[in-house]
Amino acid sequence: MKLIHNYECEGRPWTSSIPRLSQRISTLTFMGNFPESVQLIQPQLNAIIAASMSIKSSTKLKKILEIILAFGNYMNSSKRGAAYGFRLQSLDLLLDTKSTDRKQTLMHFIVNIIQEKYPELQSFHTELHFLDKASLVSVDSILQDLRALERDNPVLQSFLNSNMELLNCLIADGKTAQDAYDSAVEYFGENPKTTLPSMFFPILIRFIKAYKQAELDIEQRNKQHEAPLTPPKPEVMGNKVGTINSRAQMDLIAELKKRQMSPLVREGKTEPSRTLSQVHNNLYVFVSVL
């Protein structure tokens, strides 16, 4: 630094005397930033892998979505036949349908049914991991960083040889993260090329938050010894249906049990770009088209 300072004070062009200066600076930067890059990328890859795999493997989440599907199919049975599924984003609409007194939502009613009939499913969110962290990750950006690290340079050969095992592990995890995320997104009938983690994971984050809030609301109502929860008014996300009475609730439970015996769940492989009517060969557990 002292020599450079002296050169600058004398007005001498010191940079011209250093051959391949830009390449050397790039090399030093790469070598200096490599450990930090690994520490930055690895947790992001782990978050994508854990979140994607936990969503797809959660049996309790599948059952809850199956209950919501059966509920929606029952409420819309007078308008259309049973639906096999719909876009995952429609989970947000469970908060839009409210009872006549405006104090309860469809989410409250569904949570109440789960608490009474399927209490073992209430802890479904414990099977989902790292959703918050995964929602902040840009898979494309991470893969670009990995490709940059993977580029070979003869000048760095000795450095790369000593760090090749770490680099290969990072590249392998990058592929695993991409495959796991694509599989989870396609599992719900979406296109991973157009559905970013910042769009996909927050849907379930909001659903979990709304579910927990509904549980708290029900607990507070029970403590206050208020009247039991009543079903929401007969208007479900744009469709008019008949009032749900006690008999209807029994029919709904029967519908749920029937779906558990013969669920509208099929497994296979299909292209993510297909329309909803073409996804019968994939394993999709969604809410009804409401």
Half-sphere exposure of 68 (CA within 13 A, CB side): 32
Q: According to the per-residue pLDDT averaged within each range, which of 34-48, 72-86, 170-184, 274-288 is highest?
A: 170-184
Question: What are the CA-CA distances from residue 200 to residues 2, 55, 69, 105, 207 (Å)?
Answer: 53, 11, 19, 23, 12
What number of other Cβ atoms are within 10 A of residue 93's Cβ? 18
Check residues 87 and 28 and name the one with the higher pLDDT: 87
Cα separation, 186 vs 284, whole angstroms: 9
How does the average pLDDT of the chain come out, rounded?
75
Look at 78 and 122; give whichever has higher pLDDT: 122
pLDDT in tens, 203-232: 999 999 999 999 999 998 888 865 555 555
Strands (E), the chain: 235-236, 239-240
Q: How far is CA 189 from the centre of its chain?
A: 13
Confidence of residue 286 (pLDDT cuts 50, 70, 90): very low
Answer whether residue 160 shows pLDDT above 90. no
Tokens 């399927």 correspond to 118
Question: Is 172 a residue whose pLDDT tops 80?
Answer: yes
What pLDDT is attached to residue 111?
94
Pairing relationship of beta strands 235-236 and 239-240 according to DSSP bridges: antiparallel
CA distance linking residue 210 with residue 203, whole number of Å: 11
Q: Rounded CA gap, 149 and 7, in Å? A: 34
Taking residues 241-268, report their average pLDDT. 47
Which range scores top for mean pLDDT: 19-28, 156-165, 211-220? Answer: 211-220
For 13, counting Cβ atoms within 10 Å of its Cβ (0-12 exposed, 13-18 middle, 19+ buried), the class is exposed
The pLDDT of 27-37, averaged and rounded, is 74
Note the pLDDT of residue 53.
95
**For residue 109, what are the CA distances in angstroms to 211, 218, 278?**
11, 9, 31
Task: Name the pTM for this structure.
Answer: 0.64
Mean pLDDT of 129-149: 86
State in Å, rounded, how far the first CA of the chain is from the last one: 69
- In the chain, pLDDT over 70 holds for what percent of residues? 65
Q: What pLDDT digit, counting tens, does each position of 71-121 carry?
A: 888 777 666 666 777 788 889 888 887 877 777 888 998 999 999 999 999
- Tell me the pLDDT band of 250, cut-offs 50, 70 and 90: low
